Amino acid sequence: MVTDSLLDVCHFVANAAQYFVSIVPITTAAYLPSWVGYLVQAAQALIESWSLVLHLHT
Amino acid sequence: MRKVNSQDNVFEVGPREESRSLWGTYLPYVKIAFGFIGLLRNGLAIYTIASTGGDQLDGLPFLSPVLWLDIVLVFDLVSNYSMIKFLSYPVAILGCRMWVICLWLSIGYCFLGYGTRQYQVLNIPDYCQTLGVSWQTDPRRANYVRMQVIIFSSATAGFGVALFSYLKIYLPSRRRWNVPTEQEAATRFVAPIAPSEPAPETWIQRRIKQFGVWKRKVLGRLPRYPAGEQRELTLLRPFTIPYVGPFRGRTVLFRAPAFKKPELHLSEHLTTIVQIFVLFPFIAGFLMAVILNSHAYLLLGQKGCYGSYVSGRFGYLDLQLVNFRVKLSTWLGLNT
């Protein structure tokens, strides 16, 4: 289940208490890569590969 | 289309030429900025590995599998400027070491359980205790491990292709093996044309020749006006040195860049080709991360039981309890 509402989360946990495992992040490994990192890397790749286009064009 | 007024005459510069020229002018500065970001990324990665410790690598976060590519870019920049060219060898050695570290990390994420200890389990209901699910590991992790391997493999394959193509294109050594017979050599022989009396090279021509790649740009921008008139040529306005001299029968005021634009040499060739190879895996990673972090709250199920996992929908900026290093790693592109 995915949601943007905290109220939905509370309802879900209350109704599925016997199936809900309580976990808490303890290491930085819990923070998986976000779209931001990939976007930064993709932008860098695009800009750097542009130099080849420039070189072929001049 | 923009009209450029050069003293009394007006000539037109198309938007395409203008934007291309802008790219060519500012690309070196963009690369320098990326070089600094790359060094920061590598420093942060080494600090993260060192601070995690040898016996706690199961808590190691994802680190970019192309850290070594940043060092290739730094090598490219360093080898371009004569003042710091002596640093190119240590940087090349550092790049090799970073490749080994990235390989080791990829193997570790796949087979050695690096980064699998992510969550502490506080309470497991009776029903969920016998399912054999590892609740300390995020179920989305496997997707990121696959992406990590794809990016590392693509970059390494790209590096191999770039190196091979460079050797194939630029090194004339293969000619050595294609030795013609005497008869073939006789048919191939073309008598050299006697050189005509060369015109004396002007100072401006020597200057233009010195700037290599800029040469065509300079020639292309020379306005075709009657001889004897003075014209201004601007290549890189903030960092130019003005020179006055004769060129093709005219006196020109020639603004030359303060430094030479680098040729597409080995390091630049490598960086460019490898970046093309990793571009599409990064775009795929971006799409995957958008889908896997689509909402603020992720209650993910495994065999009928659920757990709440951290969402990186806003790059962890919306999470106040997350430490600054995690946010910085995410926004620098280290955490990929």
pLDDT at B167: 75
Q: What is the three-class DSSP state of B104?
A: helix
The count of other CB atoms within 10 Å of the CB of residue B14 is 10
pLDDT band at B182 (very low <50, low <70, confident <90, very high): low
Whole-angstrom distance, CA of residue B136 vs CA of residue B143: 16
Within 10 A of A28 (CB to CB), how many other CB atoms are there?
21
B323 CB near a chain A CB, below 8 Å?
A: yes
Residues 6+ apart with CB under 8 A from B43: none
Among the listed residues B5, B1, B16, B6, the one whose alpha carbon sits nearest the alpha carbon of residue B229 = B6
Whether B266 has its CB under 8 Å from any CB of chain A: the answer is no
Checking if the pLDDT of B92 tops 80, the result is yes
CB contact under 8 A, B125 and A58: no
Mean pLDDT of B54-68: 90
- B63-67, B162-166, B272-276: the lowest-pLDDT one: B162-166
For the stretch B171-198, what's the b/e string if a residue is b when 16 or more beta carbons lie within 10 angstroms of its beta carbon? eeeeeeeeeeeeeeeeeeeeeeeeeeee
Predicted confidence (pLDDT) per residue in A11-49, tens digit: 999 998 899 999 999 999 999 999 999 999 999 898 888
Element (H, E) at B240: strand B240-247
Does residue B150 have a pLDDT over 80? yes
pLDDT in tens, B185-233: 566 656 666 666 666 666 666 666 655 444 444 444 444 444 444 444 4
- Which of B37, B121, B295 minimises the CB distance to A21? B121
- CB of B185 within 8 Å of a chain A CB? The answer is no
Q: Which of A6, A30, A35 sits opposite B119 (nearest CB)?
A: A30
Q: Is B275 an 8 Å CB contact of chain A? A: yes
SS3 label, residue B138: coil
**How many Å apart are CA A33 and CA B333, to the nearest integer?**
9
Q: How far is CA B48 from the centre of its chain?
A: 23
Determine what percent of chain B is predicted with pLDDT higher than 70. 64
- Strand intervals (E) in B71-118: none
Give every CB contact of residue A6 below 8 A, 6+ residues apart in sequence: B297
Bridge partner list, B250: B247
Token pair 């960092």 in the structure block, residue: B239
Find all residues with CB under 8 Å of B238, minimum gap 6, and list them: none
Task: Tell me the chain A residues in contact with residue B213 when contact means C-beta distances shorter than 8 Å.
Answer: 55, 58
Output the pLDDT for position B7. 42
pLDDT digit string, tens, across residues B282-297:
999 999 999 999 999 9
Q: How far is A7 from chain B (nearest CA, A)?
A: 11
Q: Which of B123, B141, B332 sits opposite A22 (nearest CB)?
A: B123
Note the pLDDT of residue B180.
54
Of B95-109, B221-235, B304-318, minimum mean pLDDT range: B221-235
| pLDDT given at position B3 | 47
Residue B180 has what DSSP assignment? P
Contacts of B122 in chain A (CB under 8 A): 22-24
pLDDT at B93 over 60: yes
Report the mean per-residue pLDDT for chain B. Answer: 77
Confidence bin at B4 (pLDDT 50/70/90):
very low
Query: What is the DSSP annotation of A9-46?
Result: HHHHHHHTGGGEEEEEE-SGGGSPPPHHHHHHHHHHHH
Contacts for B15-18 with beta carbons within 8 Å, 24 or more apart? none
Global ipTM: 0.91
Q: How large is the average pLDDT for residues B275-288?
A: 94
Predicted TM-score (pTM) of the model is 0.71
Nearest by CB to A2, which of B216, B276, B297? B297
- Tell me the percentage of chain B whose pLDDT exceeds 90: 38
Output the six-digit token pair for B13.
């510069």
Report chain B residues whose CB lies below 8 A from the CB of A9: 297, 299, 308
**pLDDT value, residue B179:** 52
CB contact under 8 A, A48 and B271: yes
The pLDDT of residue B264: 54
Are A21 and B135 within 8 A, CB to CB?
yes
